Structure 1
């Protein structure tokens, strides 16, 4: 006796829903350290921060209809966490970055610049960012391998059943079973005095803008096109710059953390099962609920041990490193990818871009030389 014809579609729908809900929380490995530390230092207020991410993910669900990540701006976040920016300076830097991104998105120059970047360099930048995430993840997991390894084992099931609720299960278990002697994401808090320094604001913006344009616009577009082909008509460099700019221009002055669409977060959402608009909508609802709970949610999230967050981050890094274009690249392009990735890992995104462009020029020169043939070749 055959099964009713409506069962397979229902089963597929349940599997899809499970993956989207799990994948919605796949990027917490990059979100949590910045958000909790920023709140713990007294620079950010939990309600405004989580409302900002809720608005960001709602915008993603409505505009892109795909699991495009909404992440803290990492370079600016690092400046915040090292005491370089006060609350007022963070709001001003975020709003000004938003204004710059909106201005760039309104011109065709951004798209042209992105298309001018060689694919080998973009792939190398993507791999280098993945290596950076993996290196940070190893440092975090090293604080407690006895917690990290079980979390990694559960998360590894995503290679068998990509749309299973693995990330969500690990997060809930970590909150429930968090040991009292575990190392929290924030070990101590200190209130940073408010104030305004235009020099500090300019420094934070200069550190962040190149990273946003490369990682959250150019590379994020390339990754989204590879992972979500159906969303290609809706995702472009100019649109990602515009949505990032709008979010920061409107929300940063209200206390939200400066945000962008990180390529690593996009890979993390995908790795743990996110495939549709349901994932960002789920994350928007979760962030809105967190905003209502305020300090209580911060306490729950801070209870997640650092090694578990590191395990989530490790899978995001691996997903970013092992992109499809890495394996599809021509043999003569692979040295360029390697040089770009290594320079990004040990230097920065800008250093990786410079090294990648130089090595790509060398590769093209050698290809042209071989095509023409040297005088010795001609005999």
Structure 2
């Protein structure tokens, strides 16, 4: 049920028969594991969802029924479209500003902030700029953002477990008592239960293989028993059991909840947004939310989906457009601004979610609760043990942070850790991101060849004869060379290279000696560093290779003419 994020999901798991055989079930929601595993994964992101929604309803008078209805529709739509447990979570920066501002932001101002972020993400997605950004962002920087977000979740989870929480002010109170219906001992018991059932998130080891010529022995028998026990434990819907136990405790802590329940949803109405609301919402809440949404709600979640589901990696363009459309629909009716989040995806995967069915089940449950109980559901959520929410959030944060373990070189780890450290201490993922980008470029600058003669300058990564054999092994060689009779206009050749840079996945760093004869201009392409231009006359000691603008991306040696 629970696997490490590095495990490939290419092997098919046992699926629930009725969903596998029903032709009317879309392929995106056909179960990849057991039904109970998907149900357990469905509650994996509630550790962030419930506290923020409850705080907004208490402080900003957010209509809980309306938010549940729209987020349930978001869950169902994303599950059907993406085919992975794509979460729907509150926009955390907007929620933080809305709660902490004095006076708190009004619903029209919150809606204006959500619409502003939606417009930016929809524009980036529809124009393809988000895909370009996702494609060229250095992986160590993305891992740094994921690591910082995962650790941030884990730190918040520890506070939930250790201290009383005032959700209305988002501040910690006195230490939580050890023995109570929301005590530290209860949270630790939930942690022990989740560790015993799900382990560290890795798949149970395969059964021990016995050689044919050997007789069965005690070691093999013991290994088979361990394997069977771990396999049984992995099928327990651990997160679902913990969450249902928390719901039961709500009614035990305050039996008067039964008398306060009211049936039926609240009336959905259109929110009137003035220019003043738009100005306040944009400058106070949307501006800090935009970089967080780009990095964590699109870039990080797409990268994590590729790690968890290599055969079903979601597109950055589709995720960006999805966030834009969700908020353009819901914010006009007072629903909470929502996005997708890497932490939610990690949490749902950690507890068993493997397909879109996981979030579809969650959406159906939200919709039923909203239609039956409406805003009175807030009475139940208000008594939910915060320590148990902290436990769910802790496992989700650790799972997200473990995505960074594929940084194998010291340079990659250095960039990732600096990015994460700045993000955590500066309380801004955007700040850590820009510091990580600057550090990455500085480290790459150390590898750049530089020489100055007269007015000619050259920058680039040169491929010597030593690397020639590796190029031959990795890719086929094609024939392309720039010769005087082929192109004679410097403007034309510059345009061809720019066009190739736009469409062939590399970029121009520097143009040197544009007035030189065309046959003296060589284009250097390094697939990792993407620095392409060099003047051969400046570096006669290197064997240079030419990139065919508009070609297939193969390198050929440029012969002297």
Band the TM-score falls in, shorter-chain normalisation? 0.7 to 0.9
**Cα distance in 1 between the residues matched to 2:325 and 2:117:** 10
Task: Give the CA deviation at 1:367.
Answer: 4.8
**Cα distance in 1 between the residues matched to 2:235 and 2:354:** 9
Please name the residue that 1:4 is paired with.
none
Q: Which runs of 5+ in 2 are unaligned?
A: 1-13, 21-30, 164-175, 177-183, 200-229, 255-272, 450-460, 463-561
Match of 2:186 among 147, 150, 162: 147
**Cα distance in 2 between the residues matched to 1:351 and 1:31:** 25
Q: Alpha-carbon deviations, 1:205-236, whole Å to 9, x = none?
A: 1011110001001111000111122322xx11
Match status 1:302 vs 2:341: no
Q: Aligned with 2:71: secondary structure?
A: helix
Q: Alpha-carbon deviations, 1:125-163, whole Å to 9, x = none?
A: 100110111111111111242222112112222226555
Match status 1:266 vs 2:339: no
Please name the residue that 2:81 is paired with.
63
- Contact kept, 8 Å, 1:120 with 1:329, in 2: the verdict is no
Distance 1:162 1:212, change over 3 A: farther
Please name the residue that 1:106 is paired with.
126
**Cα distance in 2 between the residues matched to 1:337 and 1:148:** 32
Match status 1:358 vs 2:438: yes
Length, aligned pairs only:
349
**Cα distance in 1 between the residues matched to 2:189 and 2:447:** 48
Q: Aligned with 1:37: secondary structure?
A: helix
- Contact kept, 8 Å, 1:216 with 1:261, in 2: the verdict is yes
Comparing 38-47 with 254-263, greater Cα deviation is found at 38-47
More contact order relative to length (CA 8 Å, sep ≥ 6) = 1
Task: Give the CA deviation at 1:16.
Answer: 2.0
Please name the residue that 1:180 is paired with.
253
Mapping of residues 1-379 of structure 1, within 5 Å: 16-83=34-101, 84-143=104-163, 144=176, 145-156=184-195, 157-159=197-199, 161-162=233-234, 164-178=236-250, 180=253, 197-202=277-282, 203-232=284-313, 235-292=314-371, 293-323=373-403, 325-347=404-426, 348-367=428-447
Task: Give the CA deviation at 1:312.
Answer: 0.8
Distance 1:14 1:215, change over 3 A: closer
Please name the residue that 2:559 is paired with.
none
CA RMSD of aligned residues (A): 2.3
CA radius of gyration, larger in: 2
Comparing 102-111 with 203-212, greater Cα deviation is found at 102-111
- Contact kept, 8 Å, 2:75 with 2:360, in 1: the verdict is yes
- Contact kept, 8 Å, 2:57 with 2:63, in 1: the verdict is yes
**Cα distance in 2 between the residues matched to 1:35 and 1:47:** 11
Please name the residue that 1:376 is paired with.
none
Q: Which runs of 5+ in 1 are unaligned?
A: 1-7, 182-193, 373-379
Distance 1:211 1:120, change over 3 A: same
Runs of 4+ in 1 over 6 A off after TM superposition: 11-14
**Cα distance in 1 between the residues matched to 2:299 and 2:32:** 33
**Cα distance in 2 between the residues matched to 1:303 and 1:55:** 26
- Contact kept, 8 Å, 2:32 with 2:355, in 1: the verdict is no
- Contact kept, 8 Å, 2:90 with 2:337, in 1: the verdict is yes
Task: Give the CA deviation at 1:363.
Answer: 2.6
TM-score normalised by L of structure 1: 0.86
- Contact kept, 8 Å, 1:65 with 1:231, in 2: the verdict is yes
Distance 1:102 1:342, change over 3 A: same
Distance 1:362 1:140, change over 3 A: same
TM-score normalised by L of structure 2: 0.59
Comparing 219-228 with 350-359, greater Cα deviation is found at 350-359
Task: Give the CA deviation at 1:60.
Answer: 0.6
Q: Aligned with 1:75: secondary structure?
A: helix
Q: Alpha-carbon deviations, 1:103-128, whole Å to 9, x = none?
A: 21111221111222100100111001
**Cα distance in 1 between the residues matched to 2:409 and 2:380:** 47
- Contact kept, 8 Å, 1:122 with 1:219, in 2: the verdict is yes
More helix by share: 1
- Contact kept, 8 Å, 1:162 with 1:271, in 2: the verdict is no
